[in-house]
Amino acid sequence: MSEAETEMSDIVVVLVEEPGMSAQQAALMLAEQGMMVANVDEENYVIEGAVPTERIGLLEKLPFVKTVRDVFNYIVNDEKEEDVDDAGA
């Protein structure tokens, strides 16, 4: 893996059911830790999304997180491709 690539994980975060904290509030806190939130299930206290794989351990240590399930891993190329002007082609 080159420096321009990041290993990402699609994850499911199961929350501890804490009084006074909604799943939406937990999702905001997870986003602050680098998670890209895709779905929030208020009823079941579950949040789905993606995060750089290296950050999973940090999420697991949050007091409102019961467990983090790593569902799928993949590599993302962080390099920005140069725009090619092929208008003259």
Cβ atoms of residues 37 and 31 within 8 Å: yes
Query: pTM, whole model, 2 decimals?
Result: 0.82
Question: Is the residue at 83 inside a domain?
Answer: no
Residue 26 has phi, psi (to 5 degrees) of: -65, -40
pLDDT at residue 64 in the model: 94
pLDDT at residue 18 in the model: 74
Which amino acid would we find at residue 50?
A
- Number of structural domains the chain divides into: 1
Distance CA 86, CA 1 (A): 31
Question: Is the residue at 60 inside a domain?
Answer: yes
CATH number, domain containing residue 24: 3.30.70.250
Tell me which residue range forms the domain holding 34.
5-77
Strand order in the sheet with 5-15: 36-41, 46-52, 5-15, 65-77
Question: Is the residue at 88 inside a domain?
Answer: no
pLDDT 10s per residue in the chain (89 long)? 567 799 999 999 999 987 678 999 999 999 999 999 999 999 999 999 999 999 999 999 999 999 999 999 999 987 766 555 556 55
Residue 78, both tokens = 């962080």
Question: Is the residue at 42 inside a domain?
Answer: yes
